Structure 1
Amino acid sequence: MLQKLREKTTGVVGAVIVALLIVPFALFGLDQYMVGGAANNVARIQAPPTWWHGAPSWWPASMFWRHQEVTVEEFRNRLELARQQQRERQGEAFDPVAFESVDNKREVLETLIDEKALAMAAEASGIVVGDAMVRDAIQDIEAFQVEGRFDPNRYQLTLASQVPPQTPRQFERSVRDNLRQSLAATAVGSSSFVTNGEMDRLVRLLGEQRDVDLLMLPAPEPDTAPVSDEQARAWYTANESDFRAPEAVTLEYVQVNADTVPAPAAPDEAALRQRYEEQRERFSAQDERLASHILVRVEDGADEAAVAAARGKAARIAAQAKAPGADFAALARDNSDDSGSSAMGGDLGWIGRGAMTGSFEDSLFAMQPGQVSDPVRTDFGWHVIQLREERSGETRSFEDSREALATELAQANRDRAVSEFTSELVDRIYRNPSSLTPAANEMGLQVQTVGPFTRANASGIAAHPAVRQAAFSEMLVQDGTVSDPIEVAPGSTVLIRVVEHTPERALPLGQVRARVDAAVRADRARKAVKARGEALVARLEKGETLESLATAEGLAAPESVPGVPRGAPLPEPEVNEAVFAAPKPAPGGTSPGLQMLSDGRAVLFVVTGVTPGSAATLDQAQRDALRQQFAQVSGLDDIEALTRSLRRNLDIEVFEENF
């Protein structure tokens, strides 16, 4: 059979057939290899090649398109960052369930896609970020500064404390990438400007003031006319959402804290001494070194020749520093590539263990005061180190530390007792998760009840956001099982179970008829006030004045308010908006209007004069600040327009199943 297959495929026709089969398989496979699959991506962004902007998206031209992916890990990291930021802003009001909505996740993803679009635009434009820009950006980060100046020790420690920890080189790479993708947008935003004509027009509009006369119309007499069944049904049907009973629950719960758990025995002498020995480092000051250094930087990706050249330069500097009478600080100011310390003569301050990278620290702590090291290699390059002073830490005795140890150990024992008690309680509850009573009785706890309550009127432990959130969660409501422990205060937790649940529901008309009748009467009264006001506006438009209307209607005299600026409440913000929305009155004329108030009353107003804002009232500093604000707003609009324009040329595919 194999021989026959060989005979059939050795001819010209066979070769053509095999070639036709190989090409599409090979190209399709290559295309899939280049663009990757959807298994590890949340979105895939594709753009035409830079040398063929009009390239079609269909195969085989699609093989040449540029690709970017939003990976699952990248998306989840950004989502977690957004979660932390929202939790900090909202505090106890933060709802983790609502945060996990698809709309919220999509919003986070859209931000990432915009960033990828800007990165691809930067790549296509050949934007390159220099080392000096990266260094300046890092040194401007407040987290790396001490007293307003970049501190290398703080930089190292901050990066090491990240989760996961980062090396300086990794962080510099991420900063470089971020700068590269933001440069185009920043350039567009910062290039926005406001012309003198635009500035004058904006100042005239924003600084405009209006002279206005106000006449308050009183609320009508209470509506006591009957409400028919037909009127009530019509209002109830049109406003059914106003007549719903909110969801409510009743809870049973037990609370565990230091007061409900048997107190542990006081710590004895042996336990105190054991804790002292285990934590001796806490009572010992760290050995420290006062050091200076000179850095000969080696750029990321430098070849062996560049590394060797840098080492040779560092060796020459080290030789000069070791010479009798050498001024190390002067050498650092003239030669060090560390802009954060060179101006201070290379001073790094007092350094303890763990503050610097391994090779630097090993060399420093092996030196003697006054000694200058040979070149030492780190991720930054070659260092020449000078040890100026050293100091050894002191250790507090056990007797001096006894009181603090006793307090700490007693608290630790109480915390451990509460934790162990809670763990045992949870284990017992798991044997019968549909009730709190058996486990509570076995552990000597009292089962308490709270409710029924809604999301808006919870009290007691139910007022705690975490308890309220769990109480209305779908799992506890539907299953009727006991919750996990919920911390309501430091060292105090509760376990809850929903014993009664009343879903949100429409209240029957008969039950809310009094509320419906009151709403109908209030609406009729409001309409009566509005109709009266509109009739009075019509009389104003025919030439009557507010004063004559007030006299004819038996109302209080109108109030004149000259020079009303934008945003001033008159007496409510909506009145101000209506005043400035009214047409500018003709010379010698007025511009009347009506605005309803939130309490059902109405305000008649007449605009009698308009004074445009004047740039002459602004000094140069105010004018410059206002111009900058206008330019920033315009720049943000330009950046948004740029992003929309870039996205129009992209092929974006989203994999929501990987959210």
Structure 2
Amino acid sequence: MFEAVRNNKRIAQVILALISVTFAFFGIESYLNNNGAAGEVATVGGTPISAYEFEQAVREQQDRIRASNEGQVDPATFQDPLFRRAVLDNLVNQRLLSLFASEHRLSVSDEQLRQTIAGIPAFQEDGQFSNARYQAALRGQGMNDLSFQERLRGELAYQQVLSAMGEAAMVPKAAVSRVLSAQLEERTVHMVRFEPETYLKSLEISPEAAKAYYEANIESYAVPARVKLSYLVLSADTLKSKVTVSDDELRAEYEQTKLNLGSPEERKARHILVQVAADASEADVAAARKKAEALLAEIKTDGARFEAIAKTASDDPGSSANGGDLGFFGRGAMLKPFEDAAFALAAGEVSELVRSDFGFHIIRVDDIRKATIPSFEEARGQLEATLRERAASRRFAESAEQFANLVYEQPDSLEPAANQFGLEIRSTEDWIEKGVTTVAGFESPALAEAVFSQSAIASKHNTDAIDIGNNTIVAARVTSHEPAQRRSFDEVKAEVESQLRQQQAAEAAAKAGADQLAALTKGEKADLTWGDPIKLQRGLPMLPPNAMTSVFAVASDSLPAYTGVSVPGAGYALFRVDAVKKVTIDDKDPRLETMTDQYAQLMGAQDLRAFLSALRERYAVKINAAALATDSNG
């Protein structure tokens, strides 16, 4: 039972990923409502989604995006209405599923909850549940045990709905066989290229044509405005070097956290389960007890047979094959009666019968890992890094507003802010052109816009302090500026003629290729030098998508057959299809199973979208547009 629950979570996690269905599939306009309580962003089936709940979900999604992008995310991304709408829609979908699960009385037992928590990789160390990591992770998210468990219980409840849907997706084997056969079809082709270079020499560009081309594309011949900058960076990292941590602070932190610095006590155990439901009749309980007592008597007679008896007699399919082995586990990972018994045994000891919600257990402890607590000196480096980072983040939060005020109130120089915070004024060596989004190595459209503002260029003022994310703000000052310049026709005449010649040569090549294809299609002879044979498979693209589509769209009843495609800016590619090799798929082909699974996943996702759409009609969904807009601007 223990291992069975743990192993099934992988399937659950895959299905759970389908929850995030955004407005690409469901329009919000159909249920927008400007009315609603001020503290509600939405109501689903009459139950509210509070502004606090929504903003918490927004922050969590921001944290996930930052983590996956190593913090390099433009803060403006998170103010995009589409981002906030997608987060809200995800909350709505979760609420819809929760209401459905509640209506159909889908519940989650305490044991399911414990086993799920124990199996979450973020809470594990060396493959085993770590209470220290669990508690640290919750603290990092500002949650306690109760709030996390209630949230997870809700997710597991509606996960049962998703699991049922995922298992219900049926894919006809014949359809998959036809698709696989088409993917494996092989065609042998020869190709000839009509390249622009062939037509370049014969082209003459008149002055009138060149001038007209220049006028039509005049903006592409302009030199954008550009600047060079001096700038300051204030971040938690820049402040970290200025933070000092006293020995007393380190020792105080050690005393408060030493239990979490080490590893808690863990037990490696085996068990034999005689299964009986918690609400079974007295007769069933008595029968199970009798069987368990017989097994325990057998083990007491010959303890060396514990593993063999577990393999043949245990009702736990997840551990019986391994002789009842449950591996190492800490407190909180098992049901309390099981845990209490396991942690009361010495290594090598066998328990008396232990009753849990699953039935009767016989437990043997094979090994004990004692709790380990590092000494103060061993933990000093980790403690110091933690305290320095914490203090730097705190100082950054305290300094950010003062820094912003200083660069604004003394706009003629960055030196006051640099002196106040002990920062180095840096400079860019290369020109920064208007229109880029990366400035001084920072990806920030807001900073790029600020350095080309009227205030920065004409008034020669500092920019505002720009938040670029990841606890970092930047203020810049323009040191050199060159305005945008439109180059005259005479300056770029040679460039214009070259580009126009290339364009006309490509058009000539494409026309020649298309004319040749038309002639071949009519059955006319052609003096062409075809290239070496190329074997193409539909499922393994070796040519651009439009070429692959064209080659496999040619009818194969009469060969050779011809087709061709224009290659933008590079002429024309003409193909001769000489042979077609179709593939017959055997019913036992192992590839069928793989493709069937893939199609089932796609169909499951489609079914989920349809199911959620139906739930939106069943449980009225209303969005308080006014509250959402207020939060966006706040």
Q: TM-score, normalised by structure 2?
A: 0.64
286 and 568 in structure 1: CA distance in 2 versus 1, 3 angstrom threshold: closer
By relative contact order (CA 8 Å, sep 6+), the higher-ranking structure is: 2
Cα offset, 1:584, TM superposition: 0.6
Given the alignment of the two structures, is residue 584 of structure 1 paired with residue 561 of structure 2, yes or no?
A: no
Aligned partners of 1:249 and 1:502 also within 8 Å = yes
Residue type matched to 2:573 in 1? V
- Corresponding residue number in structure 2 for 1:37: 36
Q: Which SS does the other structure have where 1:87 is aligned? A: helix
Give the 3-state SS of the residue equivalent to 1:128 in structure 2. coil
- 1:196-595 paired onto structure 2 within 5 Å: 196=174, 198-219=175-196, 220-222=199-201, 225-226=204-205, 232-233=211-212, 236-237=215-216, 242=220, 248-254=226-232, 275=250, 279=254, 288=265, 401=377, 427=402, 430-431=405-406, 433=408, 434=411, 435-440=413-418, 447-450=425-428, 452-454=431-433, 462-465=440-443, 468-469=444-445, 471-472=447-448, 477=453, 480-483=462-465, 495-499=474-478, 516-545=496-525, 548-550=526-528, 557-561=529-533, 563-566=535-538, 572-581=544-553, 583-587=554-558, 589-595=559-565
- Report the counterpart of residue 4 of structure 2 in structure 1: none
SS in 2 for 1:558: coil
* Residue-pair matches, total: 561
Letter in 2 for 1:103: L
For 1:628 and 1:347, the matched residues in 2 are separated by: 31
CA contact (8 A) 1:185 1:642 kept: no
1:608 match: 578
Match of 1:626 among 587, 591, 595: 595
Distance 1:273 1:447, change over 3 A: closer
Contact 1:210–1:609 under 8 Å retained in 2: yes
Question: Please, which of 591, 616, 640 is the counterpart of residue 609 of structure 2?
Answer: 640
Paired with 2:518 and 2:91, the residues of 1 have a C-alpha distance of 55
What are the superposed Cα offsets for residues 101-124 of structure 1, whole Å, 9 maximum, x if unpaired? 112222333333344444455566
Distance in structure 1 (CA, Å) of the matches to 2:253 and 2:100: 57
- Structure 2 CA distance for partners of 1:427 and 1:92, relative to 1, 3 Å: closer
Q: What are the Cα deviations for residues 265-317 of structure 1, in whole angstroms up to 9, with x where unaligned? A: 999xxx768855863675997885869899999x9xx9xxx9xx9xx99xx99
- Counterpart Cα distance in 2 of 1:394 and 1:145: 18
State whether residues 264 and 413 of structure 1, in contact with CA within 8 Å, keep that contact through their aligned partners in structure 2: no
Shift of 1:181: 4.4
Q: For 1:574, give the aligned amino acid.
A: N
Alignment identity in percent? 20
What letter is aligned with 1:42?
Answer: V
Greater CA drift, 228-237 or 622-631: 228-237
Amino acid at match of 2:555: K
CA distance in 2, matches of 1:152, 1:129: 26
Deviations 1:378-403 (A, max 9, x none): 999999999999998899888xx49x
Secondary structure at the aligned position of 2:601 is classed as helix
Range moving further from structure 2, 469-478 or 595-604? 469-478
Whether the 8 Å CA contact 2:193–2:572 is kept in 1: the answer is yes
2: CA distance between counterparts of 1:417 and 1:129? 45
SS at match of 2:440: helix
Q: Deviations over 1:505-524 (max 9, x none)?
A: 89577586665554433322
CA distance in 1, matches of 2:400, 2:612: 56
Letter in structure 1 aligned against 2:106:
V
CA distance in 2, matches of 1:597, 1:562: 18
The change in CA–CA distance for 1:146 and 1:496 in structure 2 (over 3 A counts) is closer
1:524 and 1:396 map into 2 onto residues whose CA distance is 75
- Going from structure 1 to structure 2, the CA distance change for 1:160 and 1:514 (only over 3 Å counts) comes to same
Question: Could you list the per-position Cα deviations for residues 111-146 of structure 1 after superposition, in whole angstroms to 9, with x for gaps in the alignment?
Answer: 33344444455566x363464994597279442786
1-structure distance, mates of 2:325, 2:122: 17
State how far apart, in whole Å, the 1-side matches of 2:454 and 2:164 are: 52
Indicate if the aligned counterparts of 2:42 and 2:621 stay in contact, CA closer than 8 A. yes
For the aligned residue pairs, the C-alpha RMSD in angstroms reads 6.3
Deviations 1:492-543 (A, max 9, x none): x884324379899895775866655544333222211111112111221221
How has the CA–CA distance of structure 1 residues 619 and 240 changed in structure 2, closer, same or farther, with 3 Å as cutoff?
farther
Q: 2:527 aligns to what SS in structure 1?
A: helix
Q: Is the 8 A contact 1:367 1:387 kept in 2?
A: no
**CA distance in 2: counterparts of 1:373 and 1:151, whole angstroms:** 23
Match 2:55 to one of 76, 96, 121 = 76
The answer to whether the 8 A contact 1:264-1:414 is kept is no
2:629 equivalent to 1:653: no
SS of 2:508's partner is helix
**Whole-Å separation in 2 of the counterparts to 1:408 and 1:173:** 35
Measured against aligned partners, the alpha-carbon deviations of 1:159-204 in whole angstroms (never above 9, x if no partner) come to 75553123375255224433244245335xx3322242x2332133
